[in-house]
A and B are shown apart, each in its own frame.
Chain A
Amino acid sequence: MAKTLEDNFERLEEIIKTMEKGNASLDESFKMFQEGMKLVESCNSSLDKVEKQIIVLGNNGEQEDEWF
């Protein structure tokens, strides 16, 4: 299952807290930083920034029309 935005947020929180403790090796820190930045980008791109019309269903559950 693809990671949800919330999962990503949680992981980011975890990464940042670990890094802020300051006892990770520089190598580990850079790895975490890289992972974090990737997550940030993926969070950003997972937010679909297209305005959508409202779908209205018919009685049988099929899409009937769209309106604002």
Chain B
Amino acid sequence: MAGVYTVKQVNSYIKNMFKQDFVLNSVSIKGEISNCKYHSSGHIYFTLKDNDAILSVIMFSSQAAKLGFKLTDGMAVVANGRIDVYDAAGKYQLYANTITKEGIGDLYKKYEELKNTYEEMGYFVKEYKRPIPKITKRLGIVTSKTGAAVQDIINISTRRNPYIQLILYPALVQGEQAKYSVAKGIATLDEYGLDCIIVGRGGGSIEDLWAFNEPEVIEAIFNAKTPIISAVGHETDFTIADFVSDLRAPTPSAAAELAVCNMDDLFNAIEDYRNRLFRAVNLCINFKRDQIERYKLRLDYLNPVNQVYEKRQRLMNIEDKLAMLMKNEIVRYRNRLNLNISRLDGVSPLKKLNQGFGFIEDMDNNHIVEVGQLNIGQDVITYLKDGSYKSKITEINYGKDIRG
């Protein structure tokens, strides 16, 4: 014997060979999980199997913590990691870094491809979206006749509008035939001339919802003349039907809320219009009434009677002024007169009479101022302060002053 080795030496040797192998250091293996055990330390132990073989797998707690889902027996997965030898047990096993659900992975890829295809074809553009009518009187529903979705839609629709006409096309929403059934339901209801159609189903796995990613359904939604609301699964579930439909509702209940307007709101709106109309017409009337009032005021102001009043007033003013002027004039004349009177008074012969002088006239009332006017035997009248006397001229002396 060339040499004898210990078990440990052999296992170490094998371990080293594994370590040097490029492929074994990072390999993805698909299979079904069985015998899965979550250890209290956080590590996960399970066996990966297919029809012909099994492989032990360990996922350490540090990696297991990043796993987004719980591993269960029977789950089809792809595990990636390195294959190493556990030399103490003489076993090789997969030390998994990441594990993905195989089905989901494939379907998700397909979903992305389909979504891109239809997006490029312009199926999602806004220009193709038909508006959802505000007031729906006839609503079509394409969904399973059994299940919560249809009940939710019926309950919410009839609660919001008890008078709505619902037309249900009971479709298969799951399985191989679902895509044909849903597509046919859409096409059938589209012929009914409805206001709106809800297409959907309740929540489920991506496989369950898959019919709503199928070209048959996409085409049916895209080609329908009736506005379509998609309502597939839960808020977080997206299908291509959601993108191609005219409106996406997060759930079937929400779809009913979006499709059916609240009847009470509608009645209130009509009542509101009626009230507003009355208010508006009253407003118009009052406005015109105010306008009339304003015109009346302006007309009153322009009334010719006012002009007469005005003219009369002016006339009265002028009259007053004239009277005043006249009065002033009279006073002025009176003053002048008084002045003249006193001047006259100053030169009055009567005044001289008062002082003892006499005023002599002949019988013909000629004023005698010099003796030359006199003749012997002539009669004259002498006026004194208190009367007059008649006398006869007996003697005439020239050139002699009365004081002699």
Task: For A15, list chain B residues within 8 Å (CB).
Answer: 277
Task: For B322, list chain A residues within 8 Å (CB).
Answer: none
12 A-B pairs besides A40-B277, A51-B162 with CB distance below 8 A are A5-B135, A16-B276, A19-B281, A20-B283, A22-B283, A37-B277, A43-B270, A51-B163, A55-B168, A56-B168, A57-B188, A61-B169
Shortest B6–chain A CB gap in Å is 75
Judge whether B283 and A52 touch: CB under 8 Å.
no
Shortest B3–chain A CB gap in Å is 79
Interface of chain B: mostly helix, strand, loop or mixed = helix
Shortest A50–chain B CB gap in Å is 6
Q: CB-nearest residue of chain B relative to A51?
A: B162
Give the tally of cross-chain contacts (CB within 8 A). 86
Q: CB-nearest residue of chain B relative to A48?
A: B163
Give bound CA distance, A56 to B165, whole Å.
Answer: 11
Shortest B96–chain A CB gap in Å is 48
Task: For B274, list chain A residues within 8 Å (CB).
Answer: 37, 40
Q: Does B393 count as interface, using CB distance less than 8 angstroms? A: no
Chain A interface residues toward B at CB < 8 A: 4-6, 9, 12, 15-16, 19-20, 22, 24, 26, 29-30, 33, 36-37, 39-40, 43-44, 47-52, 54-57, 61
Within 8 A of A (CB), among B245-281: 263, 266-267, 269-270, 273-274, 276-277, 280-281
Most buried by A among B168, B169, B263, B281: B281
Q: Which of A4, A20, A30, A36 contacts B273 (CB 8 A)?
A: A36
Task: For A20, list chain B residues within 8 Å (CB).
Answer: 280, 283
Q: Which of A29, A47, A49, A57 contacts B284 (CB 8 A)?
A: A29
| Interface size, chain B (Cβ < 8 Å) | 34
Q: Which of B145, B283, B288 contacts A19 (CB 8 A)?
A: B283
Given contact pairs A40-B270, A52-B165, A16 touches B133 in the complex (Cβ within 8 A):
no
Task: For A22, list chain B residues within 8 Å (CB).
Answer: 283-284, 287
Q: CB-nearest residue of chain A relative to B161?
A: A47
Within 8 A of A (CB), among B100-159: 133-135, 137, 145, 154
Most buried by A among B135, B269, B274, B280: B280
Q: Which of B137, B189, B191, B281 contacts A29 (CB 8 A)?
A: B281
Give bound CA distance, A44 to B280, whole Å.
Answer: 20
Judge whether A44 and B270 touch: CB under 8 Å.
yes
Task: For A48, list chain B residues within 8 Å (CB).
Answer: 137, 163
